[in-house]
Amino acid sequence: MSMMVTGLYASLTGLLSVALAYRVVKLRRSHKIGLGDSGNSALSLACRVHANLMENAPIVLILMLVAETGGLPVFYLHCFGTVWIVARLLHAIGLTHGQGGYHFGRFWGVLLTWLVIISLALVDLLYFIQGLAKGW
């Protein structure tokens, strides 16, 4: 099995990660801040946006890889992957524009991220239970 679908969404996640990291670097350079945020709220927010992606990406991509290995149809993998990427874009935009407060994008970004995590976890648990039932 080639893991091409998970590879696609891992690649898109990687590109998003670099884009968000670039925002952090750009702010650090323009404000001459080498470490921490020196109380700069824009830098603190940009760091948080990037960190939130990095906190969620490993578990989603691991769960997606396990689901793909378990034989989840490509259509569903693409559904999960698309919702994942849209959720992370919504979250990044919402957290930035809402400046840490409530924003439509932040709310739906988190909600959709959690939906993907929970759904993939349940799919993977189902595959595990089916494997037990078959006697592995």
**pLDDT per residue as tens digits for the range 66-115:** 999 999 999 999 999 999 999 999 999 999 999 878 899 999 999 999 99
Distance CA 62, CA 84 (A): 13
Could you read off the pLDDT of 17-59 as tens digits, one per residue? Answer: 999 999 999 999 999 888 888 888 999 999 999 999 999 999 9
CB 129 within 8 A of CB 103: no
CB 110 within 8 A of CB 91: yes
Global model pTM greater than 0.85 = yes
* Residue in 115, 14, 15, 130 with CA at minimum distance from that of residue 72: 130
